[in-house]
Amino acid sequence: MKLQLNGASIDSQVTTLADLLIAEGFGDAKVATAVNGTFVPALARWDHALTRGDAIEVLAPMQGG
């Protein structure tokens, strides 16, 4: 299915947000996620089903000041 990941179009056969993170190499990284502009907590990713056209944002924390 076609998805948007951090603004880039991708084609993936995953069904959940957690599966997408694994497939795209994020694995166990500490990241924040949102689907269609709505924050998805880490514990809810396995239950969050994706549908064609969803826009997913994955953000990693940054250090600095």
Q: Answer whether residue 64 is part of any domain.
A: no
Which contiguous run of DSSP H or E holds residue 39?
strand 38-40
pLDDT, mean of residues 5-23: 97
* ∠ Cα 9 52 12 (to 5°): 55
Q: Element (H or E) spanning 20, and its range?
A: helix 17-23
In a domain, 14, yes or no: yes
Neighbouring CB atoms inside 10 A of 13's CB total: 8
Is 53 part of a structural domain of the chain? yes
Q: What is the CATH number of the domain that holds 25?
A: 3.10.20.30
pLDDT at 35 over 80: yes
The boundaries of the domain holding residue 8 are 2-59
In a domain, 65, yes or no: no
pLDDT at position 39: 98
- Tell me whether residue 37 is in a domain: yes
| 13: nearest Cα among 25, 26, 27, 2 | 2
Give me the number of domains the chain comprises.
1
Is residue 44 a part of any domain in this protein? yes
